[in-house]
């Protein structure tokens, strides 16, 4: 029997190493997390015309997402209702229908079964076509980002994102036209538990200076000072970290959006030119985030770096392996040359052969693999950095940590991980909507800090 309270200790901010290794925990994750959360599928820029499709994964389930002839988006399980074979074997494309290679059953772009070979002669016209549609999946999109959900009782996508959507709007709406994703995605295998990169992106700016020392040293510039943690930096003044309901979270380094991009003139100019209208449209607090560099995870497995603009999904393949899919985010209003340069720089730093990407893999593999040892995984992992240096903020929703380096959003991620793994239903999760942040008890942290700062200013 899995005891989630024991595996994830909210009060002491520790997690059992078993969560990166045990098969029974993973099986429960597929049921309770991947089976109940909204999972990223595709971006609408990939699915513009009727018949445009993209094949992806939700947990370990193969899924097709497609633009139906009526203009709506549909998603269904990529498995023939006859004997289970795949009905689509391409990465993407445009089609009028999906035809199973096995016996030739034909499905429309809404998943309905429209033709069966030898229907009259061999089924004697007695096949109930209407009951044999591909199993459909709830699908919805937020600012063009398409998500799917297996659970009919889950909240709407917009409610699932909650305050995280408010933050996402900073650049998903931005100056008005928003963003698109550039693919097709790079894909690679990483032999780690899916939560290792998810937690890394949600809240780990701490590793940047050390893990990425070599790349930062070559890069120089504003982030070069982080290399080897040598620079004496006032970390509490350079950014914040945020966790919101449902485990989403991010950290932001102020004014560092383009920091990882070697060539950045066009990109920087675009951000500078659009900043005033972001401020006007969305207000000063979000304008302050707009030219920052963000490390983020949308719970559970969709991570990205806004600024660097790499966008990733960690598809689980058992407890000890993932597929990493990587796209690049570009603002729709950028000119073509700037878009190309952003794509190039993002792939160069965090693509499959990325100068920074290449630093991370080994840590993630070993953080997983070591737990093969039973005495190793009998221990806990620690995420107590700056406990208490966090709380509600007058300008920013959720719980806000003191600096971009801290583990506030780790704690938020695992708080929700424990909650959803323990909960029998979304109803039980909804019941805690007003108390989810009780585990961050220092409610006056920001009031005191901002007052102290104001006093110094006087």
Partner 1 sequence: MHNLEAKERVSMQLHYDVSQHYFHEATLLQDREFSQWLETCVAKDVHYWMPVVERRYVKDKRLEPSPNDMAIFNDNYDELKQRVGRLGTGAVWMENPPSSVRYLITNVQAFHTDHAEELVVLSNFVIVRNRSQLEHSEHVGCRRDVLRKVGDGFQLVSRKITLDARVTEDKNLYIFF
Tokens of 191: 């032999």
Residue 307 and residue 292 in contact, taking contact as beta carbons nearer than 8 Å:
yes
Smallest separation, CB 232 to partner 1 (Å): 19
Q: Is 315 a catalytic residue?
A: no
Q: Is 78 in the site for partner 1 (CB under 8 A)?
A: no
The one catalytic residue in 43, 52, 61, 212 is: 212
Q: Is 184 in the site for partner 1 (CB under 8 A)?
A: yes
Residues 293-352 that bind partner 1 (CB under 8 A): 323, 327-328, 340, 343-344, 347-348, 351-352
Which among 108-116, 179-187, 269-277, 441-449 is the span making contact with partner 1, rule CB under 8 A? Answer: 179-187
Residue placing its CB nearer to partner 1 in the complex, 112 or 358: 358
Smallest separation, CB 294 to partner 1 (Å): 20
Smallest separation, CB 51 to partner 1 (Å): 12
The one catalytic residue in 103, 362, 433, 438 is: 103
Q: Is 204 a catalytic residue?
A: yes
Residue placing its CB nearer to partner 1 in the complex, 107 or 417: 107
Q: Is 358 in the site for partner 1 (CB under 8 A)?
A: yes
Q: Is 261 a catalytic residue?
A: no
Identify the sign of the CA torsion 380, 382, 383, 389.
Answer: positive
CA distance 143 to 146: 8
CA distance 264 to 134: 46
Q: Is 103 a catalytic residue?
A: yes
Q: Is 92 in the site for partner 1 (CB under 8 A)?
A: yes
Whole-angstrom CA distances from 88 to 54, 96, 102, 140 are 9, 12, 11, 21
Q: Which residues lie closer than 8 Å to 164 by C-beta, 6 or more apart?
A: 244, 245, 246, 248, 249, 298, 398
Residue placing its CB nearer to partner 1 in the complex, 174 or 354: 354
> Among residues 44, 144, 49, 134, which one has the least CA distance to residue 93?
49
Q: Is 212 a catalytic residue?
A: yes
Q: Which residues lie closer than 8 Å to 193 by C-beta, 6 or more apart?
A: 19, 20, 21, 319, 320, 322, 367, 368
> Among residues 306, 313, 312, which one has the least CA distance to residue 278?
306
Which among 131-139, 230-238, 265-273, 359-367 is the span making contact with partner 1, rule CB under 8 A? Answer: 359-367
CA distance 30 to 34: 5
> Among residues 1, 6, 27, 11, which one has the least CA distance to residue 380?
6
Binding residues for partner 1 (CB under 8 A) = 89-95, 182-191, 211, 213-215, 217-218, 227-228, 262, 323, 327-328, 340, 343-344, 347-348, 351-355, 357-359, 361-362, 364-365
Residues classed as catalytic? 103, 204, 207, 212, 360
């Amino acid at each position: 029997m899995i005891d989630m309270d024991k595996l994830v200790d909210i009060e002491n901010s520790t997690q059992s190493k078993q969560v990166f290794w045990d098969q029974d925990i993973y099986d429960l994750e597929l049921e309770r997390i991947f089976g109940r959360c909204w999972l990223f599928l595709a971006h609408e820029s990939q699915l513009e015309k009727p018949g445009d499709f993209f094949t992806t994964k939700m947990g370990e389930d193969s899924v097709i997402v497609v633009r139906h002839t009526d203009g709506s988006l549909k998603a269904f399980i990529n498995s023939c209702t006859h004997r289970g074979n795949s009905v689509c074997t391409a990465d993407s494309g445009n089609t009028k229908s999906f035809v199973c290679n096995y016996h030739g059953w034909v499905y429309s772009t809404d998943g309905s079964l429209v033709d069966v070979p030898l229907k009259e002669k061999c089924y004697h016209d007695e096949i109930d076509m209407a009951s044999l549609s591909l199993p459909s999946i709830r699908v919805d999109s937020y600012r063009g980002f398409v998500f799917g959900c297996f659970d009919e009782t889950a909240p709407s996508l917009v409610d699932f994102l909650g305050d995280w959507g408010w933050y996402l709007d900073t650049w998903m709406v931005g100056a008005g036209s928003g963003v698109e994703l550039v693919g097709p995605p790079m894909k690679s295998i990483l032999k780690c538990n899916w939560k290792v990169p998810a937690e890394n992106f949600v809240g780990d700016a701490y590793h940047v200076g050390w893990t990425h020392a070599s790349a930062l040293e070559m890069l120089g510039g504003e982030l070069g000072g982080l290399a080897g943690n040598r620079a004496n930096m006032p970390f509490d003044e350079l950014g914040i970290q945020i966790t919101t309901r449902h485990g989403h979270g991010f950290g932001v380094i102020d004014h560092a959006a383009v920091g990882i991009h070697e060539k950045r003139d066009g990109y920087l100019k675009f951000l500078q030119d659009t900043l005033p209208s972001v401020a006007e449209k969305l207000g000063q607090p979000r304008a302050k985030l707009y030219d920052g560099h963000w490390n983020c995870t949308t719970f559970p497995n969709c991570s990205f770096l806004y600024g660097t603009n790499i966008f990733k999904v960690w598809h689980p393949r058992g407890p000890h392996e993932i597929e990493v899919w990587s796209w690049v985010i570009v603002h729709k209003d950028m000119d073509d040359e700037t878009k190309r340069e952003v794509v190039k720089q993002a792939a160069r730093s965090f693509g499959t052969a990325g100068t920074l990407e290449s630093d991370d893999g080994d840590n993630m593999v070993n953080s997983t693999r070591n737990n093969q040892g039973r005495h190793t995984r009998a221990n806990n992992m620690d995420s107590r950095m700056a406990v208490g240096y966090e709380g509600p903020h007058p300008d920013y929703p959720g719980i806000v940590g003191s600096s971009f380096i801290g583990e506030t959003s780790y704690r938020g991620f695992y708080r929700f991980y424990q909650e959803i793994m323990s909960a029998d239903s979304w109803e039980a999760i909804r019941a805690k909507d007003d108390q989810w942040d009780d585990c961050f008890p220092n409610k006056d942290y920001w009031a005191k800090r901002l007052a102290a700062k104001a006093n110094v200013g006087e």
